[in-house]
Every structure is written in C-alpha cells, then in structure tokens.
Structure 1
Amino acid sequence: MKKYSVIIFLISILFISCTEQSKMPVSIGNINSVIVVVRDGVSKTQAAKTLDSILTQEIYGMPQSEQLFDVSYVTEGNLNDLLKKNRNIIYLIISDTVKKEGIFKSEDVFAAPQTILFIRSSNPDSAQKLIQKSEKVILQALTNTEFRRIYGIMTKSPAIELKKKINQNFGIDLQLINLFFEAKSTNDFMWLRLETNDYSQALIFMKEPFNAENQFNPAHIRSWIDNTLKLQIPGQFEGTYMKIDDSVIKVKVDRVIINDIERIVFSGLWGVEGDFMGGPFRSHTFVSKDKSSLITVYAYVYYPNEPKRDLMMDLEAILHSIKYN
C-alpha cells in the first residue's frame, strides 16, 4: 500500500506595515461552517463522501444531535470574491495532473481569520485514504480558525479584573470576555456566569492540594467534581444540586496536551439531582505549574430545547486558551 505523508504548509501572508495588516477584511460565514470547493464530478466520489462524513459527524456529549460543521459545496467556477472571504474553505482537488499529494494549509489569504485547506490527490482512492488518515489534522485546522475568531472578540473586551483574580487564585491565564460575572468565589473555587434572557454559559474553577499521583486519574477527578458541584452549585429547589449525569450517555475521557499542559478532559452531560435541568459540559483537569494543586476548569451551557454547539464552542475556546502564568 502506498504511504501518504500529510504535508502541512503554513503559508503566512506578510505585510509591509501594520497599516496594511489592518486592511485585511474580516472573514464571513456562519459559526462552524465550511465551504468545500470541488470540480465537476468530484463531489460524487467516495473521497468527497468521506470528507463530508468527517465534517458533519455528531458531536459527542450533546443532549440533542448536532454536527461538528455545517457544510456547503460550490464548484470552482462559482467561487466568487465574496465566497473567498469565508472563514473556512477546503479545496478538494483530485486530478491526474497532481504531482505532489497531501494537505496544504494557508491562513488569512482573502480575509482574517481564515483557513484554506487544499486536499490534493491524483485519484479518488488515494484521496479517500489521505482524508481518512488526516481526520484529526483537518478538524483541528478548522476548529483553530473558530478559536481565533472567538479570541479576536474576547481580546477587544477582556474581563481584566476576573482574569487577574483567576491568575492569583489558580496560577493560570486564559481568554475571557467581560460579559462574565462572578457568581460565587472562595480561595479554591470560583463560579463565573454569563446570563441572557435565553441561555446561560458558565465556568467553574476548582482546586485541591495535589498530594499523590493517583489524584490525576479519571475516577478521582469524577468524584471530586461531583462532590464540589453538590456543595457549591445548588438547584432552584431545596435539596437539589448540579451533578455529572451519565444516565443517557457515558462521560468521554481524553488525555491531551494543550499549551504544554497535560490535561484529562471530560465531555458529557450535566444535570440537577431532583430536577429536570441539564445540558452539555466539558472539563479540563491538570496539575498546577508548581505541582502543589490539582485544578479543574468546568464549563457548561444551559439552553433548553435549543442548539448548543456554538455556545459550547465559545467555552471550549476558553478552555483551550488556558496556560500557566
């Protein structure tokens, strides 16, 4: 079997001056949307179907079925100047004239933030294998563009005082918009909320002394989170409280390294003991820089009977921005 190496070229668009940089148009497109550019006949290949299944796969840990990205297809001839300003664009190029196969990435070509992926292959079979092998690369590139969009908004209106307090109490820095307010706080706990008439987004910070390596394992972390939620996040009725709810789907556990921090990531649903509230949550748990504390940042959305993907994307961007101070 022919081996394919995934080639990622980061093509930076350089500008002569800061003034010229400011002239870059702002990218357009709905949140978590992708335009796939194809030539006639390519959209019917198995390679195109494989790409579509990757982009539209169901997000784990959501109460309703929601897909990762909304995908639109356009032929090369119909890709006009306006469409070229979309935030995420993928060119699926399958042609016997292709000499160098792989995935090539360009950023901020026609607008910013923007990612353009070129998937180049000489035939449909090799294209399909390349796409299957590169699923994580493709999704990470597109997700990072959405994160850049979110960070661009947050940096214009940062929650300066809250960021200082988080830095002081938990030893971390992160992106945070000033729409959040402090609902509850102690030296080792903080509950930040963003409330509208329709939905809630929240971040919960918790820490405990880190005394043994066996604390950094999913079983202990699950118990610790549940105990903290029961103690600190009461429901609207007496005797009710927030909890991790795996009665419908099991909590997914991943180990990842982001910003040079090893993390245990939970994805699943939260609920309220004794009530019918709930929604999606994500949590990142890691050891503090000085190894003295175990820290969890737990993010959740409450938006009953409505899509929650885009709201969770905001919170996941915050979680991914966490770094040691």
Structure 2
Amino acid sequence: MNKLITLFALIFITISCKREGGKSDYVLPTSNGNTNKILVVTKGNDWEGKIGDEIRIVFGEHQVGLPQPETLLSVGQIDPVGFKGFMRNSKAVLIVRQSEKERIVVERNKYAQPQILIYATSKDKEGLVNLIRNRGKEIIKLFKDEDIKFTQNIFNKEKVDENQFKTIKSLDITLTIPKRFNVVEDTGDFLWLRQHLKSGIARGDGTNNILVYSYPLEDESKVADNITTMRDVIGKKYIPGSKEGMYMITEQAYTPFTFDAEIDGKKAYETRGKWEVKNDFMAGPFVNYTIIDKENKRVIVFEGFTYAPSVNKRDFIFELEAIAKSLKIK
C-alpha cells in the first residue's frame, strides 16, 4: 500500500513539474483559432476609435498576388473583460493597452499551446496609434512566422518520405511534403505534385500544386530579373492545358511582385503573382521561391500555385509557403 501511495506521489510530482515560465507542459489546453487570424484585445471605444482604425489599416492590407482582395490577416476584437475562459485559449492574440513603457513584448504558451501573445503598449492613445503604424509590419511578421511553424508542425506529422521522389534525390534537398499530395510528374530534373482540394466550392475541381526544379547559376545579378521568364519556359515545357497550344504562363495583365527572402540561410527571392493558361480561361495565384545555391553553382526553384475557382485562396497559398520554407539543401 505504501509503495502504491509513493508511486502516485511520484506521478503527481512528475505531472506538476514546472517548465521555464512556471506552467506545466501537461496542463495547458490546446489553443483554438485558424492560421492567418488574430484576436485583438482592446477596449470597445478604442476599437471603434483611432486605435482600431489604425489596426484595420495596417492588418487590412491586401495580400499581393491574389485574384480577389484578401487581407494579410483576419482580425477579430474582444474587450479585456471578456478575455477569459475559452477566448483566452486563442492561438494568436494582440493585446493593446496603455502602460508607462512603449514597447512590443512577445509571450508564448501562456494560456494554451501553441499560442503567441503580443503586447503592444504605450503611455497614451496617440502613442498606441503611432506604435501600430510604425511597427505594424513587425507584428504581422511575428504572427506569420508563428503560423508557418504551426503549419509545418502539422505537415511534419503527415509527411511522406521525400526520397521516393527522383527529383528531390537528384537535387540533394529535403522538403516536408504532406501525404495529401500526389505525383503528376517526376523526371529527376522536374517534380510536379498535386493536391485535390476537398472543401468549399473548390471541392473536386480545385487543386494545390508544387513544382521543384533547378537550373545553372550563371550570373547572380540577373536571377531576379529572369524569374518570370524561367517560369514561363517551365510552364510551356511541363504544364499543359486541356488542348494543344495551351500551357501555363505568367498572367500578362498583372505584374508579379518580387521580394528579398531567405531559405535555409541562403539568399532567395519570393515572387507572388498570377498564372493563366495560354488560350484558355484557367487562372490563379502562385508563390515562387528562387534560391541561389552558390556552393553548387545552381538556382533551386520551389513554386506553389493554386486553382480554386470562386473561393478565397490566401490560406491555400499560405500552406504552399509553409512547405517551401521547409526546404533544406543537404
């Protein structure tokens, strides 16, 4: 009997062990909320006033490269008195309030797991408005990076062995690819994977697609300027339409946006734009990561593109972004 009591005591002590931050790993509930969505905790009159207006302006900026206007993040609001119970378990929370110090503080896994809380504080309302205006992009990046990690953790639990793909092996890279993707083509030089979407109006016809390939690095200074040209060459060679003479190209009426990026610690370019099928009506958004691999004198390209008629596409493209950012060169 004494041994049994001792055993229960040891179990209780183990479960009650504190991790850094003072909370038990075993008692935190699972957080709730979707990716690309945040909960803003601020007073109702502030939300309806200048502070709320600035938040809506900054966080309501449209994601480039999408056919329909979609914001970078979806935002909801709750008064501080209501921030308790189930609401406190939200996955991504921005707490805006007055304090003696003007600062941005990040706290993780306080009420639930995984969770990120960002505190934006200043001594008065005008200071809060300026803080959101001047550091809003920094706050957005914090939330986005956390969502990338969250999504990658999910995909890691359902990933396939990438060594089954000839192109992945020949490029000597690793990539977290969820089981939901199936091979369309895998030549050893070019990989095309496709996921059939199962939700909303896109069900049946909608697809998420991954392309992976490389080409020799000749002049690094020209890589960014050649991204559109290279993807059009690949589209003509590998991505056919329903009839002869139809193939994927960069939409001619929409100029893609290219940004500096980094993948696996290497210089890269992130390009967002729209694709279309030449001489056809199919179209959609794409995100392209062009990675400069100096050591191996090559350029590696990961591209994700979506075909999902009549539905919003931000979250589909975001999943492809999360997969792209898992790429590592061996």
State TM-score, norm by structure 1.
0.87
Shift of the alpha carbon at 1:250?
Answer: 1.3
Alignment partner, residue 6 of structure 2: none
- After the TM superposition, which of the residue ranges 288-297 and 161-170 deviates more from structure 2? 161-170
Structure 1: how far apart are the matches of 2:322 and 2:79? 32
The Cα offsets for residues 135-171 of structure 1, whole Å up to 9 and x where unpaired, read as 2211111112221221121111111135765542223
The root-mean-square deviation of aligned C-alpha atoms, in Å, is: 1.9
Shift of the alpha carbon at 1:309?
Answer: 1.2
Alignment partner, residue 212 of structure 2: 205
Identify the structure with the greater helix proportion.
2
1:261–1:323 Cα contact (<8 Å) kept: no
1:209–1:292 Cα contact (<8 Å) kept: yes
1:207–1:295 Cα contact (<8 Å) kept: yes
Alignment partner, residue 259 of structure 2: 254
Verify: 1:69 aligned to 2:64, yes or no.
Answer: no
Letter of the 2:248 counterpart: M
Alignment partner, residue 232 of structure 2: 226
Structure 1: how far apart are the matches of 2:148 and 2:221? 33
| Aligned-partner SS, 1:236 | coil
1:171–1:288 Cα contact (<8 Å) kept: no
Structure 2: how far apart are the matches of 1:163 and 1:49? 51
Verify: 1:41 aligned to 2:68, yes or no.
Answer: no
The Cα offsets for residues 226-274 of structure 1, whole Å up to 9 and x where unpaired, read as 1111111101111100111131x31001112344121111100000001
2:176–2:326 Cα contact (<8 Å) kept: yes
Instruction: Note closer, same or farther for the CA distance 1:199–1:23 as it changes in structure 2 (3 Å cut).
Output: farther
Shift of the alpha carbon at 1:25?
Answer: 2.2
Q: How does 1:87-236 map to 2 (within 5 A)?
A: 87-94=91-98, 98-161=99-162, 165=166, 167-196=168-197, 197-218=204-225, 220-236=226-242
Structure 1: how far apart are the matches of 2:68 and 2:141? 23
Letter of the 1:81 counterpart: G
| Count of matched residue pairs | 304
Instruction: Note closer, same or farther for the CA distance 1:22–1:270 as it changes in structure 2 (3 Å cut).
Output: farther
| Aligned-partner SS, 1:82 | helix
State TM-score, norm by structure 2.
0.86
Consecutive unaligned residues in structure 2, runs of 5 or more: 1-17, 198-203
2:168–2:188 Cα contact (<8 Å) kept: no
Consecutive unaligned residues in structure 1, runs of 5 or more: 1-13
Larger radius of gyration: 2
Verify: 1:279 aligned to 2:284, yes or no.
Answer: yes
Structure 2: how far apart are the matches of 1:112 and 1:165? 37
Alignment partner, residue 269 of structure 1: 274
Letter of the 2:131 counterpart: L
